[in-house]
Amino acid sequence: MNKIILLLFLVVTQAFGDICLSQAMKLFGEVESFQFQAIQQLILYLFGSPWIWLGVGTLIFSMLLYLLAISKLDVSYVLPIHASSYLLNALMAWLILHESVSGVRWLATSVIGIGVFIVGLSEAGVTLPSSKPKRRKGNAPFMFLLPFGLHLPKIWLGVGILALADSGGDILTAKGMKQLGDVSLGSVSAIAIWLGKIITHPYILAGIGCYALSFLMFISLLSWADISLIRPATAIGYAFSILGSAVILHEKIPKLRLVGIAVIGLGVSIISFTSEAMV
């Protein structure tokens, strides 16, 4: 499958799945407690909501596309491109869910989009001009991705938990897919063999467990705030995922890609400074 088409379908399915989940949680209302009875009520609702089923089905398909993408491309490239789904999220939230998307949110998502474009240039082999010799630097660029503030309100605490779980899933599944190697999907039997390897690989299973925790946290966040706020805020997870791709997966991250990731982080920082996010 063409790389551009693969990433396009990945982004669109991610955004549409998120919108379905957001609609479901708007109908459910706010998750106010994590006690057993409240969690049981939430789980029963999740199994009975057609919006949840549509959203989960779309996101499962998106996950398969993601696994296919990271089997062929660097995680440090796929994840920032994946962040362009935030632009579609904001647009769909405005058009379909009729959310009131503030100017600050549009600015933040636009900045994230610029970061995604820069990351795309890095894959095309475009380099930044520099008169200095190349040398390996520390992890300072990733600091742009951290939300600023001395305390963690409810939403940011949830975003932090989601980001850690999501990035853990990214690194574990990527490590598993790298071990499986390149895939050939030329026949039904080849697809069945590929899926069989995926659901039995320990790293991928552990990654799916992390994604399950991330999903439950994401559902809770959607009951607390609009998706046009939540999705861009969760881009903080790219800090951990990209760092993990460099340290654990030993990927070489071009300087231009780091610039794009930093710009994406700037968009997250803009979101974190809005008073409506700090609740």
Q: Which pLDDT score, from 0 to 100, does residue 40 have?
A: 82
Q: Which pLDDT score, from 0 to 100, does residue 50 have?
A: 93
Q: Which pLDDT score, from 0 to 100, does residue 264 have?
A: 76
Q: Which pLDDT score, from 0 to 100, does residue 110 have?
A: 81
pTM of the model: 0.67
Q: Which residues of the chain fall below pLDDT 50? A: 125-152, 275-279
Q: What's the start-to-end Cα distance of the chain, in Å?
A: 43
Rounded Cα distance between 112 and 8, Å, is 16
Q: Which pLDDT score, from 0 to 100, does residue 142 have?
A: 36
Helix (H, G, I), strand (E, B) or coil at 229: helix
**CB-CB contact of 15 with 82 (8 Å):** no
Q: Which pLDDT score, from 0 to 100, does residue 271 have?
A: 67
Of 229, 227, 244, 236, residue with least CA distance to 147: 236
In tens, the pLDDT along 124-146 reads 544 444 444 343 333 333 333 33
**CB-CB contact of 256 with 126 (8 Å):** yes
Residue count of the chain: 279
Helices 154-180 and 50-72, interaxial angle, to 10°?
Answer: 50
**CB-CB contact of 246 with 253 (8 Å):** yes
Q: Which pLDDT score, from 0 to 100, does residue 279 have?
A: 47
Torsion sign across C-alpha atoms 172, 85, 224, 55? negative
Q: Which pLDDT score, from 0 to 100, does residue 199 have?
A: 84
